[in-house]
Chain A
Amino acid sequence: MPEDLMDLNLPNYFLADLPPEATLSAPMIAEAGTVLKKNREKFLLPRKTGELVDLLCEVGSAWLRPENHFRQLALECGPARTGFSKAVLAKGLDQFFRRFTPENFKSLLEQELGHAERLDRFINGGLACGPKLLVHIAAGNLPNPAMLSLTLGLLTRSAQFMKCASNASFMPRLFAHSIYELDHKLGSCLELAEWRGGMANLESALFSEADCVTATGSNETIASIRAQLPVKTRFIGYGQKVSFGLITREALREETVAQTVAQAADDVIAWDQNGCLSPHVFYVEERGLVESDVFAQKLAVELAQRESGEPRGAISVEESAAITSRRATYEALAAHRGDLKLWASSNSTAWTVVFEHDVRFRVSPLNRFIYVKPVPDLSAVMEGVDEIHGLVSTVGIAASPDKTAELALHFARWGAARICPLGQMQNPPLTWRHDGRSALGELVTWIDFE
């Protein structure tokens, strides 16, 4: 176990808590699955949804308290362990745990299951049951989706085994420990382990025990996991998605532009742009009172100013090289094309704004590298995003409420899975339907009683 966790005397409770030299084996994984399922029978199955919601809300409010030691550990050790700065972690965790309210959980249950007690008893002849053992293959980039997966699994009374990507178990472990601390018995229905994806012996041992497997990651990862699962096992895979923003002229008036710029920066800064809800490109309507290139410049200034308070985290040399290489290309091209502009942090890769007229969507190297592309109208946006049709998670919009509603319908019919206000792209509600699918609803099996 890493020293920082040992210092706080956390119980050596999950497989992911074992020292790095401990070798996982297929029998260990199979044994864990058996124990989890037994514990579920004893400790989780008898619980009522209301009790679980209360517990989750208690976990959430604990994480919001500055003195909470899991929060402190996350903020102190997180930067080194996750690659996000303290400020970025704090903001992301606050946004996430503020969603943990009884009202929000009730909305979620009602939205997905039609009634908040559908997991407790037959209502109108229908009872929803979660899988006995729910396995999660978590992606390594952001903590929130992993923590949300565990949260939804608890609601469905499933024993859960989360396989974390290598070096990515830190936050899910803290979250699981925080549940364990409040309720040891519920904690005994959770298991976490960390290994590099593709270890066939461990994964086949795990999958053979599972009733349902969720996986988030690259399309290759999803395809490979799907191919390994027995036919009887339900599979919920979330592959690669991209997101973009649209800023209309209304949001570019003198009195609105500052807010628009701050919101756009929020979306680039949140989780250092690492999730599939983060924007790669902002399309900006031309001929606003504030012109699109001025908006790009203001966004650059905002990113530069916020770098001191909310710094971009440390990134790998490969990620850094990807940014530098892309910047160098645009810098050299800018010498040839007067309409191409580049703003970038000096002596670091902390932030980059590229302003270019080519409307085609570009995949960003992320880590606060954003494209701003001026467009004359909506049809230019649609031309630009044509290539990513079917791959879009979120469209963040800055416009008047009426205009936003109109654009939302337009993008919905085109095929985007989520439309939200600019500034909220990385802050979906608990009721968010992940990639257009019911995150909770897909986990359950319905039993009819006629």
Chain B
Amino acid sequence: MIISECRVSQWHLSPANEDLSNLPFRNFDSLALELFALQFQHNPGYRKICAARGLTPKAVNHWQQIPAVPTSLFKELELTSIPAEERTAVFHSSGTTEQKPSRHFHGPESLAVYEASLGTWFWSHFQSPASHFQLICLTPPPEQAPNSSLVHMFQTVWQKSGGASVLASRAPFVGLIEKDGAWTLDFEAAISVLDNSQSATGHPRLILGTAFSFVHLLDHLAERNLKLKLPAGSQVMETGGYKNRSRSLPKAELHALITERLGVSPENIICEYGMSELSSQAYAGSNGVFGFPLWVRAQIISPETGREVADGQTGLIRIFDLANVFSVAALQTEDLGIRRGSGFELVGRASLAEPRGCSLMNA
């Protein structure tokens, strides 16, 4: 198909240690427009939406004019240019089971772009190279969660990290899936790989997990009155909300508990912002400002006027992810963020706004 012919090599991203400024993304606008033209041509679901708004490749002159598709549409439509027979994976949103999940279809090529995209940006947020860490993932393994983009991401990080992961005798996933589909942890396994006194390797740990999986772990440690001592240089990456899978904690409180129970200091905790509909991720350090890699632009859009807000103002996060080659690069999320330069602070999900008084809203 034509997308495959379209200089896919250009969309393949370079390894972690390459100087990102040498990448072609300084020319973001022309790449975005080129990709939009391809997606308009090859993604019929997207084309209809653009055409209805009169926004064809001829009418669009700047990446900011490219029509953004609400992420909710991935629940309703097949927004992909990959023919059914070429799809090898589909990532679902992690909503509650009774809702229709988002479906982001992948084939070998789109996964290759996805994997190249995530590795580069991921490792630039940690103080040591991949080979220094022993990875622990607080999610189920990929074979149990084949539709989780997060688990695929962790698997990719592990496989490509080389180094210390080979020191671990088994895959780093310590999560389990309960009968009702809920994610939980094999607490014994988690503790045995985390606790330095029970491990011979002495390598710094890199713990990857969702906020709720950290709460599960921390609550378990608190119940047993345990405080683990992770090796110096250990780091944590937490992501996502709680989705009613655990009690929810303000971020500062979660991080304080991670410091208390795991001995990982706040500056060694990295937050990730990603979703199944994207192929790239944003990360925030202790200042809470999320940043995407160079091949992604985020805009914070006023929900009232539809225009980009001023710095420091709150709006809906719109993302243009050039690594989303085979689906839709321009996505309108339902997440609210505060604009901070080219990045943003995450506020939360608009559709989960608190109900006011006696009338239901947005159930």
Contact = CB atoms under 8 A, between A and B. Distances in A.
A318 B360 CA distance: 15
B356 A274 contact: yes
A333 B70 CA distance: 10
A240 B314 contact: no
B69 A322 contact: no
Given A322-B362, A348-B304, A274 B357 contact: yes
Contacts of B304: 317, 320, 324, 347-349
Interface in A209-254: 216-218, 238-242
A240 B303 contact: no
Interface in B20-65: 45, 48-49, 51-53
**What are the nearest 7 A-B pairs in CB distance?**
A141-B357, A321-B350, A139-B357, A335-B52, A324-B303, A318-B353, A276-B358
B268 interface: no
B72 interface: yes
B306 interface: yes
B305 interface: yes
Contacts of A324: 303-304, 306, 316, 350
Contacts of B69: 332
A363 interface: yes
Contact of B303 (A141, A241, A321, A363): A321
Nearest to B338: A317
A216 B73 contact: no
B334 interface: yes
A275 B359 CA distance: 6
Nearest to A364: B361
23 contacts: A139-B356, A140-B356, A141-B357, A141-B358, A141-B359, A218-B358, A240-B360, A242-B360, A276-B358, A276-B359, A318-B350, A318-B354, A322-B350, A322-B351, A325-B316, A326-B351, A332-B70, A335-B52, A335-B53, A336-B77, A347-B304, A347-B306, A364-B361
Nearest to A434: B358
Contacts of A322: 350-351, 353, 361-362
A240 B358 contact: yes
B298 to A, nearest CB: 15
Contacts of B315: 317, 321
A236 to B, nearest CB: 13
Nearest to A348: B304
A335 B51 CA distance: 8
A241 B358 contact: yes
Contacts of A5: none
B357 A275 contact: yes
Interface residues of A, number: 45
Which size bracket describes the interface of B in this complex? 35 or more
A178 interface: no
A323 interface: yes
Given A140-B356, A329-B73, A363 B334 contact: no
Given A239-B358, A241-B359, A325-B70, 10 more contacts: A165-B357, A238-B358, A275-B357, A317-B303, A318-B350, A319-B353, A320-B303, A329-B76, A335-B52, A366-B361
Given A240-B358, A349-B304, A366-B361, A329 B72 contact: yes
A139 B358 contact: yes
Nearest to A278: B359
Interface string B329-363: 00010101000000000001011011111111111
B250 to A, nearest CB: 14
Contacts of B76: 329, 333, 336
B316 A321 contact: yes
A365 interface: yes
Nearest to A218: B355
Contacts of B356: 139-141, 274
Interface of B: 45, 48-49, 51-53, 69-70, 72-73, 76-77, 303-306, 314-316, 332, 334, 336, 348, 350-351, 353-363
Contact of A325 (B72, B348, B355): B72
Given A321-B303, A325-B316, A335 B358 contact: no
A318 B48 contact: no
B313 to A, nearest CB: 9
A144 to B, nearest CB: 11
A366 B351 CA distance: 12
Contacts of A348: 304-305
Contacts of A36: none
A1 interface: no
Given A317-B303, A324-B316, A329 B353 contact: no
Contacts, number: 126
Given A317-B315, A322-B351, A347-B306, A242 B359 contact: yes
Contacts of A289: none
A363 B49 CA distance: 25
Contacts of A239: 358
A324 to B, nearest CB: 4
Nearest to A142: B357
B57 to A, nearest CB: 17
A216 B359 CA distance: 10
Given A274-B357, A334-B52, A323 B303 contact: yes
A217 B356 CA distance: 7
B40 to A, nearest CB: 13
B350 to A, nearest CB: 3
Contacts of B306: 324, 347
Contacts of A391: 360
A364 B336 CA distance: 19
A275 B358 contact: yes
B358 A318 contact: no
A299 B20 CA distance: 54
A447 interface: no
B361 A363 contact: yes
A366 B359 CA distance: 9
Given A325-B72, A332-B70, A348-B305, A317 B336 contact: yes
A328 interface: yes
B357 A328 contact: no
Contacts of A335: 48-49, 51-53
Contact of A328 (B70, B77, B305, B360): B70
A274 B360 CA distance: 9
A331 B70 CA distance: 10
Nearest to A238: B358
A217 B361 CA distance: 12
Interface string A347-379: 111000000000000011110000000000000
A334 B48 CA distance: 10
A364 B351 CA distance: 11
Nearest to A240: B360
Nearest to B332: A328
Contacts of A240: 355, 358-360
A338 to B, nearest CB: 11
Nearest to A320: B303
A430 to B, nearest CB: 19
Contacts of B359: 141, 240-242, 274-276, 278, 366
